[in-house]
Copies of this chain bind each other. A is one copy, B any other.
């Protein structure tokens, strides 16, 4: 398991409007090779959005990261911030992370 942490400034939409506008994007992300899950994050006050992705391996993560970076840039997003992490499974289990 490899984690891709993404965040960036966003003018919106947020909340229910975001859910409606990005449903098809979420459905396409669900089909990405190697994706286990994505947590969608948003902050309407600070005007930021992002995601925490879990991929099966680093190759599938990097392939998605390159494609998604280009897609977000095409959508006008700037100041994209990516971080790649491993999961510490033993500690995450102690702290009740679901699905481990």
Contacts and interface: CB of A to CB of B under 8 A. Distances in A.
A5 to B, nearest CB: 7
13 contacts: A3-B39, A5-B50, A18-B88, A23-B94, A30-B94, A30-B96, A35-B95, A38-B91, A39-B97, A40-B87, A40-B97, A46-B84, A52-B52
A26 interface: yes
Number of copies of chain A assembled together: 2
A40 B5 contact: no
Interface of A: 3, 5, 7, 14-16, 18-19, 22-23, 26-27, 29-30, 35-44, 46, 48, 50, 52, 83-88, 90-92, 94-99
Contact of A85 (B22, B48, B85): B48
